[in-house]
Every structure is written in C-alpha cells, then in structure tokens.
Amino acid sequence: MVSSLQVKRIGGLMLYCIIVAGILIVPFLIQSPYILHILILAGIYLILAQSLNLMLGYVGFLSLAQTAFFGIGAYTSAILAVTYRQPFWIGLILAIILPSLIAAVVGIPFLRLSRHSFVISTLGFLLICWLVARNWVEVTRGPLGIPGIPSPTLNLFDLVEVSFSSRASYYILMMTSVLIITLFLIKLVNSRIGRAFIAIREDEALAQSVGINTLKYKLIAFSISAGIAGVAGSLFAHYITFLDPTIFEFYNLEHVLVITLVGGSGTIGGPILGSVIFTILPEVLRVAKEYRLIVYGIILLSTVLLMPEGVGGRFKTYMHKRRLKGVYAK
C-alpha cells in the first residue's frame, strides 16, 4: 500500500522534475537570442530579489544594501578575472565570501539598531560603496569601468572544457544557479534557523525572551543574503562583460524592490512570481526606461497601499482559507 502522503511526495517530486526539465529545455525550443537575454537578466534579478526577500520577508529588516553587495560581488569577480586572470569559479566563490564577510562586519553595528535606523544605515552603506567604486580608481578604474570581463569556462580535470560564451549555455548556467539558490532557501527557511528568522520578524522581544540569540540569527541572515546578492553580481558581471559604478544606481534597487514586494515578500514563490511578472510586463508595455520607472513607482505605491502582502501572499492566504473550509466541511 502506498499512503496518500507518499503519493503526494512522489507527485511533488515529479512536478518538480517536470518544471526543472521545462526550464532547462527552453533554449533548445526558443532560438531567439533576445528572449534568452531577457530570461538571463530575469534570473539575475530573481537571485537578487531572493536575497532581499530573505532579509525583508523572513527577518523583517528592510535592507537597501543588497544592491551594494550585488555590486561588491560583481567587482570582486570582475577584478579577479581581468586584473588577476583567475578562472570564473574562483571569482564566483570570492564573490560569495567577500560580501558575506563585509555584511557580517557592518551587520554587527547595523543590526543592533531599530528597523528605521537600519534602513537608513544600509542606504548610507550603498552610497559609500558607490562613492568608493567611483573614486578608488587604482582598483575599480572609476567611472571608466572594467571592460572585457571574460565569459566563464568550466575546466573538468583538464578533460573537458565547457565555455559559457553563448546565450543558450549562459542561460543554463543562470537557471542552474537560480535552482540551487531556490532549493537552498527553501531548506533554510524551513529549518530551525529559518524558524528563528520568522520569530524575529514576528516579535523580536518575544523571540529574545524565549532564548533566541536574535543578533546572531540576524547576522546569519544578513551574511547569507549578502552572499546570494554576490552570486547575482558575479553572474551579472560575467554576462554583461563590462562593469562600471552605475551598478550601484537606484535603478537596480527599485527594480528588485518592486519584484519582491509585488510578488510577495515572506514567501519563496513570491519573488519568483514577481520576476515572471516584471519580465513579461515591460516587454508587453514596451515603454522607455524613464516611463518604466514611473510605472514601477506607481505599481510599488499601489501594492503598498492596496495589497501589502503581494500577489504571492494573497494567493497563500486564499489557499489557506480554502484548506480551512475543507477541514470544516468534513
């Protein structure tokens, strides 16, 4: 006999495999380099949105520094690849480690603050990073930027060499990263650590009173989210192949805030939904960048005013209510 739980689990696994296969098969079905380009960028913003979601949606601290860690990751990767001729994988690993370490160091003072002051200090941190990128010319080349960042290659024990220079191969690399990060986050937020995050979000004083070391867990979350933003930065730098201080501009921050908030923070599915919406929407609307930011602003404002839990959050509440109804009907 197979229990219904096992059926459900097998069904879930199959659904998961189908989704993965579906995502990975896309470049063989769609040959259009333009669509692949849009999907790759959507993947990068999705990773960044998940890093914001971890802080805002699970720990309840709005961090505007996520695009700073994105930029730090991108610069780390780019400088290692161009100046020091290191392979992509070393750059990627350091693009995770360095932002995490920086987050752990600046997090100690920042995360002791109230939620208001935290927002302002992360904004200050973002602007300092921007200033450093523009003025530390010996390392970052300042406003000139770093051109010619090589495409990533994977060297398997000198036997096979895979290059990710084509759009289709970069898409595979991108989506693999998205999948790994999504699975990692699902594991994380459902673990003991993740429950501590949620406890802090709901009531920090209460969490502290039941023996949760809140500063420790906030630091863990901030470091992990910075590392995730670093991955997005590294993938961004190697895809665009050119990097300059405009990576710290507010455009990225606003884009990611809108994706996270409209999709619904506090769920892993929310930002995924948000990035699907905001990948398709600009293509449908076909508007210039200046109009786009106005439209984004209006969407963000309407979301905050009318639907603060986001599309994903509303769906979750709806499903929950339906399930409750079913229980009562029995």
Contact 146, 78 (CB under 8 A): yes
Q: Does 277 bind another protein (CB under 8 A)?
A: no
Output the CA–CA distances (angstroms, integers) from residue 158 to 18, 21, 132, 150, 153, in the order listed.
33, 28, 39, 19, 12
Contact 197, 59 (CB under 8 A): yes
Q: What tokens does 119 get?
A: 């927002």
Q: Does 128 bind another protein (CB under 8 A)?
A: yes
Task: Supply the minimum distance, in Å, between the C-beta of residue 13 and another protein.
Answer: 36
Residue from the set 90, 120, 183, 280 that interacts with another protein by CB under 8 A: 120
Residue from the set 23, 37, 250, 314 that interacts with another protein by CB under 8 A: 250
Task: Supply the minimum distance, in Å, between the C-beta of residue 207 and another protein.
Answer: 16
Distance CA(166)–CA(176), nearest Å, equals: 16
Q: Does 115 bind another protein (CB under 8 A)?
A: yes
What is the tally of helices (H) and strands (E) in the chain?
Answer: 14, 2
The site map against another protein for 180-219 (x = CB under 8 A) is ----------------------------------------
Residues 6+ apart with CB under 8 A from 130: 68, 71, 245, 248, 249
Residue from the set 17, 19, 280, 298 that interacts with another protein by CB under 8 A: 298
Q: Does 143 bind another protein (CB under 8 A)?
A: no
Distance CA(196)–CA(63), nearest Å, equals: 18
| Residue 56 or 173 with smaller CB distance to another protein | 56
Q: Which residues bind another protein (CB under 8 A)?
A: 56, 60, 62, 109-110, 112-117, 119-121, 123-125, 127-128, 131, 135, 250, 254, 257, 261, 290-291, 293-294, 296-298, 300-301, 304-305, 308
